[in-house]
């Protein structure tokens, strides 16, 4: 693993083309997750680890070939006269002296809309490269400050796969003393071959209020049923330093289920203490019926 110098590996890596735009920056995702944490020590450690960009994952084996293990388990779904499939684009692994990385990204094949297919695959490759660089520099900075531990894991899962819908979830978990997790979903209409956003499901912006109120009600009900279920919402889990949940973002992270349910997702530490992990809320479809563009996706 140390046959190449860091400078050689750095140059080889930086020579890899990178798209001009990054739709979902892993750097920003990790930074946002870090800001949600109320544990001062973890926040400081993450700031030191994620704030730079270029040296440790250069020590990884640059095997950019498709993973046979994932390829053998790829998801194939028939669409009109062709097959859409998801397999691993590339994988990086590193394990040494308290530092661990296991990174992978998906690749979509079989869409007739090649612009969409290329845009998604470019995004996934860029996300992986960005995370690669972040881990490299994070490990380097920790070493310069006396050493320590750092673990980063990224991957994906095919969350929904029907004749029409393909939902791919990508996650990043970073461990520095404690852990922070970021999750993002892409929802794709395989028949229309379009990218589904949360606003595109609705005729206006009233959905933001309706969904937010449903989530607040579910938080309170869950806490009343189990006091250990704590959320940062008015009425429970209130602390002076906590920013209480008021409303979702109009482009809040979400996915669509096989039975046409809308699920809103929050990252770890986003609306609750870390022990609650990543949090999801299924929104009752009857609350959304009068707001939807159609019942193709949610019903």
How does pLDDT run across 192-227, given as a tens digit for each residue? 989 999 999 999 999 999 999 999 999 999 999 999
d(Cα 92, Cα 172) in Å, to the nearest integer? 13
Residue 50: the pLDDT is 39
Per the prediction, the chain carries an average pLDDT of: 77
205 or 62, which is more confident: 205
In the chain, CATH 3.90.640.20 covers: 199-291
Count of CB atoms situated within 10 Å of the CB of 21 = 10
Mean pLDDT of all residues in 179-191 = 91
10 Å CB burial of residue 176 (0-12, 13-18, 19+) is buried
Residue pair 52/137 in contact (Cβ under 8 Å)? The answer is yes
pLDDT higher than threshold 70 for residue 96: yes
How much is the average pLDDT of 252-275? 95
Instruction: Give 37's pLDDT tier (boundaries 50, 70, 90).
Output: very low
Determine which of 70-79, 108-117, 213-222, 272-281 has the lowest per-residue pLDDT on average.
70-79
Selection from 180, 140, 158, 175 nearest residue 276 by Cα: 180
Confidence of residue 237 (pLDDT cuts 50, 70, 90): low
pLDDT at 42: 42
Angle between helix 114-144 and helix 40-50 axes, rounded to 10 deg = 110
Q: Please tell me which residue, 215 or 26, carries the higher pLDDT value.
A: 215
Q: CA 80, 85, 90: angle at the middle one, nearest 5?
A: 155
Q: Which CATH architecture has domain 6-196?
A: 2-Layer Sandwich (3.30)
Which tens digits make up the pLDDT trace of 241-257? 778 999 999 999 999 99
Tell me the per-residue pLDDT of 112-171, one tens digit each, with 9 for 90 and over: 889 989 999 999 999 898 898 899 899 899 999 888 999 999 999 999 999 999 999 999
Instruction: Identify the sign of the CA torsion 50, 59, 102, 177.
Output: negative
* Mean pLDDT of the 272-287 span: 95
Task: Supply angle C-alpha 293, 295, 299, rounded to 5.
Answer: 130
Q: Is the pLDDT higher at 236 or at 153? A: 153
pTM for the model stands at 0.71
pLDDT at residue 22 greater than cutoff 50: no
Is the pLDDT higher at 109 or at 3?
109
Q: What pLDDT score does 228 carry? A: 94
Instruction: Provide the percentage of residues in the chain whose pLDDT is more than 90.
Output: 50
What pLDDT is attached to residue 74? Answer: 30
CATH top-level class of 199-291: alpha beta
Listed residue (202, 204, 200, 244) closest to 220, CA to CA: 244
pLDDT > 90? residue 69: no
For residues 150 and 101, give the distance between their C-alpha atoms in angstroms, rounded to a whole number.
Answer: 8
Spatial CA neighbour of 42 closest among 55, 30, 27, 52: 30
28-32 mean pLDDT:
42
């Amino acid at each position: 693993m140390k046959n190449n110098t860091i400078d050689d590996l750095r140059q080889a890596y930086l020579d890899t083309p990178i798209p001009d735009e990054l739709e979902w920056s892993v750097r920003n995702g990790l930074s946002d997750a870090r800001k949600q944490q109320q544990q001062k020590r973890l926040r400081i450690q993450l700031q030191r680890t994620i704030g730079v960009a270029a040296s440790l994952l250069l020590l990884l084996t640059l095997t950019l070939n498709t993973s046979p293990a994932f390829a053998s388990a790829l998801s194939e779904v028939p669409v009109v006269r062709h097959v859409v499939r998801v397999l691993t684009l590339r994988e990086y692994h590193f394990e040494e002296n308290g530092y661990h990385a296991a990174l992978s990204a998906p690749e979509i094949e079989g869409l007739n809309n090649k612009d969409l297919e290329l845009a998604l695959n470019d995004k996934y490759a860029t996300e992986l490269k960005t995370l690669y660089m972040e881990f490299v520099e994070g490990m380097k900075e920790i070493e310069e400050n006396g050493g320590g531990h750092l673990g980063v894991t990224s991957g994906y899962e095919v969350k929904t796969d029907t004749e029409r819908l393909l939902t791919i979830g990508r996650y990043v978990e970073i461990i520095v003393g404690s852990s922070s997790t970021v999750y993002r979903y892409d929802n794709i209409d395989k028949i229309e071959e379009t990218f589904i956003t949360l606003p595109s499901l609705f005729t206006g912006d009233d959905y933001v209020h309706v969904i937010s109120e449903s989530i607040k009600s579910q938080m309170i009900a869950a806490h009343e049923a189990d006091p250990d279920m704590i959320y940062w919402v008015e009425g429970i889990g209130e602390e002076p330093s906590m920013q209480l949940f008021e409303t979702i973002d109009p482009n809040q992270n979400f996915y669509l289920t096989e039975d046409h349910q809308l699920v809103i997702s929050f990252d770890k530490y986003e609306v609750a203490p870390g022990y609650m992990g990543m949090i999801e809320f299924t929104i009752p479809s009857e609350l959304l019926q009068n707001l939807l563009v159609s019942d193709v996706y949610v019903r």
